[in-house]
Structure 1
Amino acid sequence: MIKDLAKNKKALHDFSILETFEAGIVLRGSEVKSLRAGRVNLKDSFVRIIKGEMFLLNAHIGHLETTHASFRPDERAPRKLLMHKKQIDKLFGSVTRDGLTMVALSLYLNDKNIVKVRVALAKGKNLHDKRETLKKREADLEARAAMKKSI
């Protein structure tokens, strides 16, 4: 059973997702408790490969009021993601060669209660692609509403 802690809805709107991967994340101190309390925002977060290591950048994990001031980590600090070296090299090749972007789609707890990040290899959408997506979503909603009325 997977429990979602946070989702990045903006990423699904701005990018077309090509492939998804699962990665572990290095957290400090009370950050896990903060995640469980829902004090996380992935809205503008993205993933970069720096010196052969993956980092989640611009993700905001707020701290709890009960956290001692001297143990509070930076809320927007880069957080290291854990993946196999071969996977990181594959992602780095596709990002540099094809001009793709890596974004964090969600943070969740897996079956063993370990925090994982769903990372996606994505391609940016143009404005007209975003409009088409919105039109399609609206049409699907109308179709569902019509189906409910007919039953």
Structure 2
Amino acid sequence: MKQDKNTFKPLQKNKKAYFNYEVLEDLECGIALVGTEVKSIREGKFSFTDSYVTVSGHSLTLVGLTIQPYTHGSINNHDPARNRRLLAHKDEIKRLKRKVDEKGFTLIPTSIYLRGNLVKVQVSLCRGKQMHDKRNVIKERDLNRDTRRELKQMQY
């Protein structure tokens, strides 16, 4: 059965990035992987912990993404902590490089998903949040949860 190129299957979202950073812009990139890495990603055996994207020359590099070795792999299994090249257009890379260099932004991978048979990474241009901003987010989340709980109890 052949999959449609437009089918979208989210595998994992980087929730910590949305808490620690203010997301300003998103970019969809391909990722250069070896065969056993693709199989491990399809099984969901990867982690975003402290991962980020660097811009060097005309290429993007994903640093810190850990992909666990494939369980049914042979001796030729991949290195779990290697840096991986991201695939994007040269003009987009130049534009992101200017923003990261001039304004102090950072590039963070925010989600990994399947589009058809291809593994894609959503890279976001982010600005770090201050501690008081994080406290406000926690406060709002708690208030919303309490109001939902009150409304649910009032319905019964």
Q: Same fold (TM over 0.5)?
A: yes
Shift of residue 95, structure 1, vs aligned partner: 0.5
Superposition map of 1:40-79 within 5 A: 40-69=46-75, 71-79=76-84
Q: CA deviation at 1:73?
A: 1.6
Contact kept, 8 Å, 1:11 with 1:43, in 2: the verdict is: no
AA of the residue aligned to 2:110: L
d(CA) in 2 for partners of 1:31, 1:56: 14
Q: Secondary structure of the equivalent of 1:90?
A: helix
Q: Which residue of 2 aligns with 1:130?
A: 134
CA distance in 2, matches of 1:11, 1:42: 9
Two-structure CA RMSD over aligned residues (Å): 1.1
Q: Which residue of 1 aligns with 2:24?
A: 18
The sequence identity of aligned pairs, in percent, is: 37
User: d(CA) in 2 for partners of 1:72 and 1:43?
Assistant: 21
Q: Deviations over 1:56-98 (max 9, x none)?
A: 10000011221112x1221111111011111111100110111
Q: CA deviation at 1:140?
A: 1.4
Residue among 116, 119, 129 paired with 1:115: 119
How far is the alpha carbon of 1:113 from its aligned partner? 2.2
Give the partner amino acid of 1:81.
L
2:136 is aligned with 1:96: no
| Separation (CA, whole Å) in 2 of partners of 1:20 and 1:146 | 36
Counterpart check, 1:81 vs 2:86: yes
What is the alpha-carbon distance in structure 2 between the residues aligned to residue 6 and residue 35 of structure 1?
Answer: 10
Which consecutive unaligned segments of at least 5 residues does structure 1 have?
A: none
TM-score using structure 1 length: 0.94
Verify: 1:39 aligned to 2:54, yes or no: no
User: What displacement does 1:138 show?
Assistant: 1.1
In the superposition, the TM-score normalised over structure 2's length comes to 0.91
Give 1:38's aligned amino acid.
Answer: G
* Aligned positions, number: 149
Instruction: Tell me the equivalent position of 2:12.
Output: 6
Whole-angstrom distance in 2 between the partners of 1:20 and 1:143? 32
Per-residue CA distance 1:4-38 (angstroms, 9 max, x = gap): 22221111111011111110001002111101111
- State the distance in 2 between where 1:123 and 1:46 align: 13
Q: Residue deviations 1:89-135, cap 9 Å, x none?
A: 1100110111001000011001x221100100000011111111111
Q: List gaps (5 residues or longer) in structure 2.
A: 1-6
